[in-house]
DNA sequence: CCAAAAGTGTTCCGTCTACACCCATGG
DNA sequence: CCATGGGTGTAGACGGAACACTTTTGG
């Protein structure tokens, strides 16, 4: 192989994963105690180095799979972070990825194995390196995208009630939404499908369960909430 | 220095700059013929490798300065591109940055030196590697941001007419805007300042020149167009 | 029987859109 | 004097926000 770029220096590149979940009507983040030096023991996102033979997306998916046991997660790049001294050990450029998972699908054994915690985004501790910045940017990205993309379903089980769905929007956007207006809008957009199942866990009367209608969404991408 | 991450492999990281300008009522991109192997002679964005002792932003600013002779440009990260074979020569991860410049400030000698051309974004040729993707993402970013940030002034001289400003919006958003509605909205938002100067280059009657009122903007960031 | 969550429509107001004519001037 | 771009206001449509009461049922 010809050595084209030999005179330039190489750097380590890592990916860091911002894993969001939804629990107790709050948007939560999966973080853990860093298990390596430097920074051992600090709260941190979970990450990994990008291998010579894997793309950035592959690396992010690999890390997410290790972490959650799940493939095909909703995942989006947040951005590259490249300050010289962002990592206290060596020069490392990191690309942040944000993923949404349904906490119910998540294997709690993995949580224990990696010593992870679900932490509410408004109670986040100081994280390792520039990870707080990454989280901030990821939240901005979510807030923008949730208005035009059906992100919210990734945070919920397949079947969910309209109240749960509304709580997801409220948690991400951090404001209250009027119940009637919310339901009106949801019903105008034909991308959620009513089932004849009733959820009786959260109320005595019971609430109708809905599911995301991916087919309808694929046919009509125009979507505003 | 302790070698923390020695077992992992390093990669080359570059920055690629997407430089937008506005000329002849069109949004244009500064591209050139690649002057190195691999891909010598192909149309390409202008880029450079990230040095061991510079941040990603520094690298992007350095490349932009080389290219335009200008500092303190409006610049935003578009994202990291990391497919394994994206560069035909070696494994290189690239971070794309998008910049806006006023073509009038631009030194044409530099254009000749680097053999660059201003090409209208709807006449873009096939570019080297994944540069067309980068440009697509950059345009998406512009379209989103121009609605809430005063980007447009970066593409214009300090003094400009309302018609010019409108043409910038039309070029970026790729649709026509009603003149009266546009001017009504602009005047509601007090971030542009009328001068008593008249531009007589584009019309016989002459058009009032305006300037961006940065102070007013800094005081009131709420802004929608 | 009562507490607790589900479910349902209407009115108002502000914003966006569509639309056409006069003005000033250089050539 | 006329062609060219500059400049101005209004009416109707539409979408978002505010708002309160009835229903069901488990305990």
Q: SS in 3 state form for chain A?
A: CCCCCCCCCCEEEEEEEEEEEEECCEEEEEEEECCCCCCCCCEECEEEECCCCCCHHHHHHHHHHHHHCCCCCEEEEEEEECCCCCCCCCCEEEEEEEEECCHHHCCHHHHHHHCEEEEEHHHCCCCCCCHHHHHHHHHHHHHHHCCCCCCHHHHCCCCEEHHHHHHHHHHHHCCCCCHHHHHHHHHHCCCEEEEEEEECCCCCCCEEEEEECHHHHHHCCCCCC
Mean of all residue pLDDT scores within chain A: 94
> Are B22 and B28 spatial neighbours (Cβ–Cβ below 8 Å)?
yes
Mean pLDDT across A167-179: 96
Which residues in chain B belong to E strands, given as ranges?
A: 12-23, 26-33, 43-44, 46-49, 74-81, 92-100, 116-120, 160-161, 192-199, 207-212
Residue B225 scores a pLDDT above 90: no
Give the model's pLDDT for residue A220: 80
Mean pLDDT across A54-74: 96
The dihedral sign for the CA sequence B215, B216, B220, B225: negative
Cβ neighbours of A107 (radius 10 Å): 12
For residue A113, give how far its alpha carbon lies from the nearest alpha carbon of chain B (Å).
23
Give which of A98, A126, A121, A119 is closest to A171, Cα–Cα: A121
Give the model's pLDDT for residue A103: 93
Separation of alpha carbons B211 and B223, rounded Å: 16
Residues of A in contact with B80 (CB under 8 A): 56, 77, 79-80, 95
Q: Which of residues 38-67 of A touch B (CB under 8 A)?
A: 38, 49-57, 59
What pLDDT band is residue B2 in, cutting at 50, 70 and 90? Answer: low
Contact B49 A95 (CB under 8 A): no
Mean pLDDT across A95-124: 94
Give the model's pLDDT for residue B14: 98
Residues of A in contact with B38 (CB under 8 A): 4
For residue B75, give how far its alpha carbon lies from the nearest alpha carbon of chain A (Å).
14
Give which of B100, B79, B101, B82 is closest to B92, Cα–Cα: B82
What pLDDT band is residue A1 in, cutting at 50, 70 and 90? Answer: low
What pLDDT band is residue A225 in, cutting at 50, 70 and 90? Answer: confident
Residue A50 scores a pLDDT above 90: yes
* A15-43 pLDDT, tens digit each: 999 999 999 999 999 999 999 989 999 99
Contact A79 B83 (CB under 8 A): no
Residue B1 scores a pLDDT above 90: no
Q: Which of residues 68-127 of B touch A (CB under 8 A)?
A: 77, 79-84, 89-93, 95
Mean of all residue pLDDT scores within chain B: 94
Mean pLDDT across B202-211: 95
Residues of B in contact with A80 (CB under 8 A): 56, 77, 79-80, 95
- Does residue A6 sit at the B interface (CB-CB below 8 Å)? no
> Are A195 and A151 spatial neighbours (Cβ–Cβ below 8 Å)?
no
Contact A80 B83 (CB under 8 A): no
> Are A60 and A97 spatial neighbours (Cβ–Cβ below 8 Å)?
yes
Give the model's pLDDT for residue A180: 97
Work out the percent of chain A whose per-residue pLDDT is above 70. Answer: 99
Give the model's pLDDT for residue B77: 98
Residue A188 scores a pLDDT above 90: no
pTM metric for this prediction: 0.94
What pLDDT band is residue A3 in, cutting at 50, 70 and 90? Answer: confident
Both structure tokens of B8: 């992992």
Work out the percent of chain A whose per-residue pLDDT is above 90. Answer: 86
Give the model's pLDDT for residue B224: 75
* B120-141 pLDDT, tens digit each: 999 999 999 999 999 999 999 9
* B149-187 pLDDT, tens digit each: 999 999 999 999 999 999 999 999 999 999 999 999 998
Both structure tokens of A40: 């051992």
Give the model's pLDDT for residue A2: 67
Smallest CA–C1' separation from B180, nucleotide: D8
Pairs from A39-42 (Cβ < 8 Å, separation ≥ 24): A39/A88, A39/A89, A39/A128, A39/A129, A42/A126, A42/A127, A42/A128
Residues of B in contact with A8 (CB under 8 A): 12, 49, 51
Contact A56 B93 (CB under 8 A): yes
For residue B120, give how far its alpha carbon lies from the nearest alpha carbon of chain A (Å).
27
* B50-93 pLDDT, tens digit each: 999 999 999 999 999 999 999 999 999 999 999 999 999 999 99
The residue assigned the tokens 């560069």 is: B87
């Amino acid at each position: 192989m010809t050595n084209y770029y030999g005179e330039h220096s190489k750097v380590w590149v890592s990916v860091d994963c911002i894993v969001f979940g939804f629990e107790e009507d709050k948007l939560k983040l999966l973080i853990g105690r860093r298990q390596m030096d430097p920074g051992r023991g600090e709260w941190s996102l979970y990450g990994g180095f990008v291998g010579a033979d894997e793309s950035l997306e592959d690396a992010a998916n690999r890390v997410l799979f290790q972490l959650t046991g799940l493939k095909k997660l909703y995942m989006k790049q947040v951005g590259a972070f490249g300050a010289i001294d962002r990592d206290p050990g060596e020069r490392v450029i990191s690309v942040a990825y944000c993923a949404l998972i349904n906490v119910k699908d998540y294997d709690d054994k993995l949580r224990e194995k990696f010593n992870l915690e679900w932490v509410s985004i408004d109670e986040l501790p100081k994280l390792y390196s520039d990870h707080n910045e990454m989280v901030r940017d990821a939240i901005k990205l979510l807030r923008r995208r949730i208005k035009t993309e059906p992100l919210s379903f990734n945070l919920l089980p397949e079947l969910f009630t309209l109240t749960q769905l509304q709580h997801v929007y409220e948690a991400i956007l951090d404001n209250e939404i009027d119940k009637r207006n919310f339901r009106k809008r949801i019903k105008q957009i034909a991308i959620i499908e009513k089932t004849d199942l009733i959820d009786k866990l959260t109320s005595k009367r019971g609430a109708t369960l809905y599911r995301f209608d991916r087919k309808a969404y694929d046919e009509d991408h125009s979507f505003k909430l």
